[in-house]
């Protein structure tokens, strides 16, 4: 079913301004609908207190809504138990929590792809420096798709964790996660998926995937910034060391000892972003009401229109598979002889088309290919239209002609 884009756009205040932007920077952060903004405000206006501590009615209201938000996250991703959902600040914090708590030691191997966001690269590089854990990279195919042969050759019993980006923010490509998870489990390894770019755009069924650990961020799926989540199978979380200790992580202390709280509280130290979690839950409700299958179809339609539209631009190279159905809502590209930064600045000024330029926090990939200026990345979502894509294509053509004169 086609999305009712006009109806969706009416929910986003910034898109109802006198001169709305053409916002194609959704892989960085999505816009927020009024429904999410209202739920955030609801916390601050109606029950602005602490969860799980005091016994008065405001505290009870926070506790109930915070608990309800956690269970909504569980249902959205089809996790087994609410206790397996840990609220974090973002995907980055979730991955760092795992890297510091999993107890990996010298000689253990962590495998990643060659397209990782710094959030799923830096923790393993630093762990390698501190503990002697070996970080190895699975090289991609020439079109940037996943190389299963390379992966299978690198798998052995010393690989303790396979930590990979599910859908890449670099080019929108999604790895064959189910096959990867099965192969890793056959070798006794755990699997963690960075779901920051997959969760907003496609159905993620944690039970079906049988993934051990999964992380995502609210700000990439219509929710507030500063809130995210880590899912982990309960038997893994029970063994995970905490690295942030304090209030709410314990049920009792003495001058010489402590008793840790159960899941998930032991990983949520101090007062939490209650408004963020409640707003995140509202964002999931909104996505659910639109429908993830319809979202994926809409993004493909727009990406196909973009891909066809730029074919005539001499020297334009798309990063990743050429088939737009394999790139979600992302088109990342370079243009020979033209700076990515110049393109995005000119399109912003001339046509109010807002995109991102640079390395997209995937510096390692660009450095390995000698692309010091990175790329232009156009990324679409539920409120973007075919007319906006046409404006983008025509504006891009004019910009390239301008810089080549």
Is 357 contained in some domain?
yes
Q: What is the DSSP letter of 324?
A: G
How is residue 82 written in tokens?
Answer: 């609410």
- Are 306 and 250 in a shared domain? no
CB 227 within 8 A of CB 66: no
Q: Can you give the pLDDT at residue 53?
A: 84
338-382 confidence digits (pLDDT tens): 999 999 999 999 999 999 999 999 999 999 999 999 999 999 999
Residue 3: closest CA among 197, 291, 286:
291
CB 111 within 8 A of CB 120: no
**Of 288, 313, 346, the domain-final residue:** 288
Euclidean distance between CA atoms 278 and 44, whole angstroms: 11
Is 190 contained in some domain?
yes
241-256 confidence digits (pLDDT tens): 998 999 999 999 999 9
The pairing of beta strand 109-113 with beta strand 159-165: parallel
**If DSSP states are collapsed to H, E and C, what string results for 282-314?**
HHHHHHHHHCHHHHHHHHHHHHHHHHHHHCCCC
Euclidean distance between CA atoms 158 and 227, whole angstroms: 34
SS3 276: helix
Is 3 contained in some domain?
no
- Are 166 and 244 in a shared domain? yes
- Structural domain containing residue 58: 36-288
Q: Can you give the pLDDT at residue 345?
A: 98
- Are 364 and 215 in a shared domain? no
- Positions annotated as catalytic residues are 361
Residues 6+ apart with CB under 8 A from 294: 1, 2, 3
- Are 227 and 309 in a shared domain? no
Residues 6+ apart with CB under 8 A from 229: 73, 85, 86, 87, 88, 94, 215, 216, 218, 280
Q: Half-sphere exposure of 79 toward its Cβ, with a 13 Å CA cutoff?
A: 23
Euclidean distance between CA atoms 84 and 103, whole angstroms: 19
Q: Can you give the pLDDT at residue 96?
A: 98
Q: Give the pLDDT mean for 291-296.
A: 97
SS3 253: strand
* φ and ψ of 377, to 5 deg: -125, 115
Q: Give the pLDDT mean for 268-296.
A: 98
- Are 129 and 203 in a shared domain? yes
Is 12 contained in some domain?
no
**Of 260, 288, 316, the domain-final residue:** 288
- Are 282 and 298 in a shared domain? no
Euclidean distance between CA atoms 190 and 240, whole angstroms: 13
Q: Looking at residue 351, which CATH number applies to its domain?
A: 3.90.1150.10
- Are 270 and 131 in a shared domain? yes
**Of 258, 288, 318, the domain-final residue:** 288
- Are 57 and 200 in a shared domain? yes
Residue 33: closest CA among 382, 300, 377, 387:
382
Residues 6+ apart with CB under 8 A from 276: 40, 87, 218, 223, 224, 225, 226, 227
- Are 88 and 50 in a shared domain? yes
pLDDT reading at 276 higher than 90: yes
Q: Give the pLDDT mean for 171-199.
A: 98
Q: Looking at residue 123, which CATH number applies to its domain?
A: 3.40.640.10
214 Ramachandran zone, left/alpha/beta (phi>0; psi -120 to 50):
beta
Confidence of residue 228 (pLDDT cuts 50, 70, 90): very high
Is 29 contained in some domain?
no
98-156 confidence digits (pLDDT tens): 999 999 999 999 999 999 999 999 999 999 999 999 999 999 999 999 999 999 999 99
CB 154 within 8 A of CB 106: no
Using CB atoms within 10 A of its CB, is residue 21 exposed (0-12), middle (13-18) or buried (19+)? middle
Is 10 contained in some domain?
no
- Are 300 and 227 in a shared domain? no
319-337 confidence digits (pLDDT tens): 999 999 999 999 999 999 9
Each as own residue / partner, the long-range contacts of residues 363-372 (CB below 8 Å, 24 or more positions apart, any chain) are 363/118, 364/114, 364/116, 364/118, 364/121, 365/114, 365/115, 365/116, 365/170, 368/114, 371/334
Percent pLDDT > 70 in the chain is 100
pLDDT reading at 1 higher than 90: no
Q: Taking CA 326 as the corner, what is the angle to CA 194 and CA 22, rounded to the nearest 5 degrees?
A: 85
pLDDT reading at 265 higher than 80: yes
Is 7 contained in some domain?
no
Q: How many domains does the chain have?
A: 2
Where is 250: in which H helix or E strand?
strand 250-253
Where is 396: in which H helix or E strand?
helix 386-404
Euclidean distance between CA atoms 196 and 237, whole angstroms: 20
pLDDT reading at 179 higher than 90: yes
Is 9 contained in some domain?
no
- Are 295 and 243 in a shared domain? no
- Are 261 and 381 in a shared domain? no
* φ and ψ of 322, to 5 deg: -75, -25
64-81 confidence digits (pLDDT tens): 999 999 999 999 999 999
12-47 confidence digits (pLDDT tens): 999 999 999 999 999 999 999 999 999 999 999 999
Q: Can you give the pLDDT at residue 291?
A: 97
């Amino acid at each position: 079913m086609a999305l009712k884009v006009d109806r969706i756009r009416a929910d986003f205040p910034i898109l109802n301004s006198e001169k709305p932007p053409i916002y194609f920077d959704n892989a960085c952060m999505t816009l927020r609908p009024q429904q999410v903004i209202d739920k955030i405000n609801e916390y601050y206006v109606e029950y602005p207190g602490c969860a799980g501590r005091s016994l008065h009615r405001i505290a009870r209201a926070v506790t109930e809504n915070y608990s309800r938000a956690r269970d909504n996250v569980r249902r959205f991703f089809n996790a087994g138990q609410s206790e397996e959902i840990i609220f974090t600040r973002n995907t980055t914090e979730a991955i760092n929590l795992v890297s510091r708590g999993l107890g990996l030691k010298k000689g253990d191997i962590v495998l990643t792809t060659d397209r990782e966001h710094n959030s799923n690269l830096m923790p393993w590089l630093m762990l390698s420096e501190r503990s002697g854990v070996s970080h190895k990279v699975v090289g991609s195919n020439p079109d940037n798709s996943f190389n299963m042969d390379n992966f299978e050759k690198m798998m052995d019993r010393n690989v303790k964790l396979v930590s990979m980006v599910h859908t890449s923010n670099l080019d929108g490509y999604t790895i064959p996660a189910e096959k990867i998870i099965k192969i890793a489990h056959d070798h006794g390894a755990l699997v963690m998926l960075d779901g920051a770019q997959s969760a907003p755009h496609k159905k993620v069924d944690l039970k079906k995937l049988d993934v051990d650990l999964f992380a995502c961020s609210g700000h990439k799926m219509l929710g507030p910034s500063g809130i995210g989540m880590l899912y982990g199978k309960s038997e893994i979380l029970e063994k995970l060391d905490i690295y942030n200790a304090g209030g709410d992580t314990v049920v009792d202390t003495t001058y010489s000892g402590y008793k840790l709280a159960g899941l998930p509280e032991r990983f949520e130290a101090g007062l939490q972003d209650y408004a963020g979690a409640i707003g995140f839950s509202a964002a999931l409700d909104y996505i659910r009401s639109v429908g993830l299958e319809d979202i994926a179809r809409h993004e493909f339609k727009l990406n196909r229109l973009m891909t066809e539209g730029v074919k005539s631009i001499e020297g334009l190279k798309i990063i990743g598979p050429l088939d737009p159905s394999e790139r979600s809502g992302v088109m990342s590209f370079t243009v020979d002889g033209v700076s990515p930064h110049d393109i995005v600045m000119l399109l912003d000024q001339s046509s109010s088309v807002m995109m991102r330029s640079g390395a997209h926090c995937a510096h390692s990939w660009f450095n390995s290919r000698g692309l010091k200026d990175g790329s232009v990345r156009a990324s679409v979502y539920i409120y973007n239209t075919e007319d906006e894509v046409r404006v983008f294509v025509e504006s891009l053509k004019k910009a390239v002609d301008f810089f080549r004169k």
